[in-house]
Structure 1
Amino acid sequence: MQKTICELFAGVGGFRLAFEKNSKDWKTVWANQWEPGRKSQDAFDCYCAHFGKSPNHVNVDIAAVDKSTIPDHNLLVGGFPCQDYSVARTGATGIQGKKGVLWWQIYDVLKTKHPSFVLLENVDRLLKSPASQRGRDFGIILSCFDSEGYSVEWRVVNAAEYGFAQRRRRTFIFAYRNDTRYGTSGEDVPVEEILGKSGFFASTFPIKEIPEIFSTTFESHDIATVSETFQFAFRNTGIMRDGTIFTGESKPVEMEPTLLRDIVQHNVPEKYYLGDKIDKWDYLKGAKKIERTARNGHKYVFSEGPIAFPDPLDRPARTMLTSESTTNRSTHVIEDPDTKRLRLLTPVEAERIQGFDDEWTNTGMSERMRFFCMGNALVVGAVQKMAETMNRIFAMEKDPGAK
């Protein structure tokens, strides 16, 4: 089987970089990146700076793309936002998802191109959204895959627990067509074996034994009915096959993480130091209770706990957000190991936290956008580990006897 990739919501190319670092055999045949509402398409320009300009590197709204024009591919990848995935019945025209929700674009590609495998990334709260109907959104996604003949494995992975420099928890979704060799080879394998040892995620990110596995089935395969009625307590590990969902809470077999101390730069320019702004940062990072008034006049107390200030160098970084480097509670502040003064991270340090090459985003965009792009990115090394597992799966598709 050819190692061909279609990359949606490509950003600055984290998925592609990870797969190409793993093996030059992987070929990205089509990629799409579009930042709505921005005249400057910095992430796309960065992507092209590293991977070249090509008619198959597309900088338009994915909703405007005729999915039949996308080249055939065997692996669909992408990191997509956690949104409201609900659908509404629209009479004779069937069902319709909310406009602008990017999951439906992925679904359109599935229905049109039927790739053998799919690897997606999302935030960890996807499994519990929305608060009013826990698990509905992920249930809709699983139902969509099931309707197209796919099985799905998922795992919430904290990158730091597997040796990386960031405590970034993300939901990864691996789907495979049931008629692939990988799919048929697992038909008689017990769920406990797949989730605990032999499955895609268990073989990539080892875990301890799962103490209890819970299950449920879809009462209906109609996606609108799923949207209206489905509710389930998804745990951080699971599989859906033949319309039945199995899930359990797993704990990692942890590796030694990369520490902030291991990735900091030396001789950092003065502009990154806090100077006399310490009091404001003390307030932002500290615990607080603030009385607020809701729109209906109801008064309540907003409270939040403290964040370490400065961020300890003997731990991995916290989750990096798109607001990194701004005067914001979530921004990292460290004590420079050379000067012992407090400062912000540099763009290169942000790139290292995500596992990108130094100066990856130094392609003409502003420094603020470099941090924004890193806050949107994924941990490259974690995807590299998944790419290694994908190598073995693709080898099995080519040669059933391969290990």
Structure 2
Amino acid sequence: MKKLKVIELFAGVGGFRLGLEQTKHFEIVWSNQFEPSTKAQHASQVYEARFGAKHHSNKDISEVATADIPDADMLVGGFPCQDYSVATTRQNAKGLIGKKGVLWWTIHHILSGKKNPPKYLFLENVDRLLKSPSNQRGRDFAVMLKSLDDLGYAVEWRVINAAEYGMPQRRRRIFFIGYHKSTPTYKNLQNSEASEWVHTQGTFAKAFPVASTLTKKHSFSITEDLVALSERFNIGEKLSPFQNSGVFIRGRVYTEKTSASYDGKRTVLKDILIKKEVLDEFYISPDEYAKWDYLKGAKKEVRTAKSGFAYNYSEGRMIFPDALDNASRTIITGEGGKSPSRFKHVVQSTKGLRRLAPLELERLNMFPDNHTKLEGISNTKRAFFMGNALVVGVVKKIGKALHEQINS
């Protein structure tokens, strides 16, 4: 069977590519990775080292001409979480663009500029997207859904915690898939009961089954133009109307809160640890134990802001060292480096407490061992990559289910 051609944006070190290529059903025909805040393009270097420089772009995507991006069946990417509000006047709404530098609008520009736009979209973001910004809960997601609706796409979404399906890291992310109105899948969704799509018929339901839920189901319309939506959506409400699962087609939202249904094998932190001793740099000096224990510990104390304002600060105790018989906590971009931190992982070994090595962080995201190991790339940078990455196993399962959905 012919492979689906894929454009990969915001590629990082290639998590989407790894997951999709492992299914044997997808072929990346063009990729882009550019880090605007740094001169050295380390992630792009790793990507090229693993997948080759051919058809890979290391240029600011907002400066890449749409004509230079090949046609493909699908566009994928984990784009940055930003302010997606619309920055045009009503008079100029037809020439709609969002704020300069906001990369969602770069995706929108590519999709709208293609004579033959991708029939499928497969995108990822942090789950707070469903409830941002804080003064207009859910507005950003509503703007994204409506902008895709205007371009002819239906959307289904799900917040997935990889550990709830047996994977080694408690990493919660929102994934959403777009189906162009020219596809049979769009028509199948249109002719289905939305609740059935969420629970059994949809791509996410097939990849990651859900339990039946008793939470209130919610349905509403999004029909305003993008400018009005940006200005008024959910004004004055404390909660976002979007739950962790849902579909959106032809201006209508259906959403509900679902829970994972899984009783298979589970990988825990001890399963991914290097069996032999790691480099000395990852061991914590006993002199530093007290600092780590304080940062990981419970606190109730008065702190003073730079302005001189005194306030009460409190936080709960974290498990220290990390539990080996459970999936790991979420890797963050600040995971690397020797300095004591509340959020870095620390495990007990025969030689004492130590931080996780880059290879172990790769395993928590289900990357191949030493995927990011490259001359000139520090261990701190390798940890940063994994803080930005996604869990490859999640992408693989969704990719497999999507391919089956398209060919059903």
| TM-score normalised over the length of structure 1 | 0.93
Is the Cα contact below 8 Å between 2:44 and 2:58 reproduced in 1?
yes
Query: Is 1:305 matched with 2:316?
Result: yes
List runs of 5+ in structure 1 lacking aligned partners. Answer: 397-402
Name the amino acid aligned to 2:77. G
Instruction: State the one-letter code of the partner of 1:42.
Output: H
- Does 2:270 match 1:269? no
More displaced 10-residue stretch of structure 1: 181-190 or 73-82: 181-190
In 2, the alpha carbon distance for the partners of 1:217 and 1:52 equals 45
Percent identity between the aligned chains? 45
CA distance in 2, matches of 1:312, 1:206: 27
| Aligned residue runs from structure 1 range 185-196, under 5 A | 185-196=188-199
Residue 70 of structure 2 is matched in structure 1 by 71
SS of residue matched to 1:186: helix
Deviates more, 1:86-95 or 1:10-19: 86-95
Match in the other structure for 2:344:
331
Count, aligned residues:
391
Query: Amino acid of the residue matched to residue 261 of structure 1?
Result: K
Change (3 A) 1:341 1:296: closer
**Corresponding residue for 2:387?**
375
Deviates more, 1:372-381 or 1:207-216: 207-216
1:103 matches 2:112: no
In structure 1, distance between residues paired with 2:151 and 2:113: 10
Deviation >6 Å, runs of 4+: none
Q: Deviations over 1:81-131 (max 9, x none)?
A: 211111122465444422221111111122123210000010011101011
Shift of 1:192: 1.2
Q: How does 1:238-257 map to 2 (within 5 A)?
A: 238-254=246-262, 255-257=264-266
- How far is the alpha carbon of 1:287 from its aligned partner? 1.4
1:58 corresponds to: 57
1:393 aligns with 2:397: no
Distance 1:136 1:157 in 2: 21
Shift of 1:367: 1.1
Give 3-state SS (helix, strand or coil) of 1:154's partner. Answer: strand
The amino acid across from 1:380 in the alignment is: V
- Verify the 8 A CA contact 2:336 2:379 in the aligned structure 1: no
SS in 2 for 1:97: coil
The match for 1:203 among 200, 203, 206 is 206
In 2, are the aligned partners of 1:161 and 1:256 still within 8 Å (CA)?
no
Mapped to 1, the partners of 2:192 and 2:107 lie a distance apart of 29
- Give 2:103's aligned amino acid: L
**1:208 Cα shift?**
0.6
**One-letter amino acid of the structure 2 residue matched with residue 330 of structure 1:** F
Partner of 1:399: none
1:141: which partner in 2? Answer: 144
**Structure 1 CA distance, aligned partners of 2:33 and 2:258?**
34
Match of 2:218 in 1: 214
Matched-pair contact (CA < 8 Å) for 1:32–1:57:
yes
Length-normalised TM-score, structure 2: 0.92
Q: Can you give the 5+ residue segments of structure 2 that lack an aligned partner in the other structure? A: 235-239
Distance in 1 separating the partners of 2:360 and 2:306: 41
Answer yes or no: is 1:314 the counterpart of 2:329: no
How big is the alpha-carbon RMSD for the aligned residues of Structure 1 and Structure 2?
Answer: 1.6
Cα deviation for residue 267 of structure 1 reads: 1.9
Cα deviations by residue, 1:137-159 (Å, 9 ceiling, x for unpaired): 10011011111111100000000
Find the aligned partners of 2:278 and 2:267 in 1 and give their Cα distance. Answer: 21
Residue 213 of structure 1 aligns with an amino acid whose one-letter code is K
How much does 1:162 deviate?
A: 0.7
Distance 2:219 2:313 in 1: 37
